[in-house]
Amino acid sequence: MKRVKSLVFNSLNFRPTDKKIGSEDIANVITSRKYTEETGFGFSHVEVSENILTAKILKRTPTYIQDYNIESQEIVRKQIFLFSDIQFSIDFNYYILYVVGGVSQLNYIKSILKNILEVEYESQPIDINASKFYQILVEKHIPSSIEQITINKFNYNNGFVGRFAGQVTLQSVGAELVSEYRNDIIKISFKIEVEGEEDLLIQVFQNGSIKLLVEESDFEFFISFIKTIIFS
């Protein structure tokens, strides 16, 4: 069964030191940081393959609910804890950090890593919006088609202005819209041909986040495929 998976990429640049930092170095640090009640977070499923570190972080978040106290016959505020895990990877081939999730999950991972790693690093959003991703597909001659476009400030002959979303039935029109509204495209959907696989349905958002519609078993393959398109 196919599922929608979200990805967000950041660059990852380590400050110069006497020792080169690699995937095994980071893996050794986070492997020792297992979940505890005191910290409220911990790492698991730490793996290194082909210079790519992949792991999950378990996160505890306190919240409050309305409960009923039978003895006092009153509604009381009760604290409970919610648990979630976030999958992330550090690819030392491209020096990028990415998470399976959204920007808030990425920022949480960055804050934790900054606190536990003994080396300094810089991490910045990858400058890849809808129009830039389209440009990459065109320049690299990757067989693809624009499926849908959502534009924030669409303007038709100065008589119709506003948010507009539509299905692209003529690729030349889709290309014109991308060119004219490159900074106002909220979301763009593509169908990309992948040799030996089903066509990949992908959405690219204004903030650089990406969504894929894939089989769970094919997810890692398509992550690698997307990284090759963007970073190689």
pLDDT in tens, 116-127: 887 788 899 988
Average pLDDT over residues 180-198: 91
Tell me what pLDDT residue 19 has.
Answer: 64
Query: pLDDT band at residue 17, thresholds of 50, 70 and 90?
Result: low
Q: How far apart are CA 128 and CA 144, in angstroms?
A: 17
Tell me what pLDDT residue 127 has.
Answer: 84
Tell me what pLDDT residue 117 has.
Answer: 86
pTM of the entire structure? 0.86
Question: For the segment 211-229, what is each residue's pLDDT rounded down to a tens digit?
Answer: 999 998 899 999 999 999 9
Average pLDDT over residues 142-170: 93
Tell me what pLDDT residue 158 has.
Answer: 85
How much of the chain is in helix, strand and coil states, percent to nearest 5? Answer: 25, 45, 30
Of the candidates 70, 105, 71, the residue with the CA atom closest to the CA atom of residue 87: 105
Query: Over 80: is that where the pLDDT of 16 sits?
Result: no
Of the candidates 62, 64, 63, 54, the residue with the CA atom closest to the CA atom of residue 97: 54
Query: Over 90: is that where the pLDDT of 95 sits?
Result: yes
Tell me what pLDDT residue 80 has.
Answer: 94
Q: Is residue 2 classed as helix, strand or coil in its secondary structure?
A: strand
Tell me what pLDDT residue 50 has.
Answer: 93
Share above pLDDT 90 across residues of the chain, in percent, rounded to a whole number = 75
Average pLDDT over residues 10-31: 83
Tell me what pLDDT residue 15 has.
Answer: 75
Tell me what pLDDT residue 172 has.
Answer: 94
Q: How far apart are CA 12 and CA 209, in angstroms?
A: 17
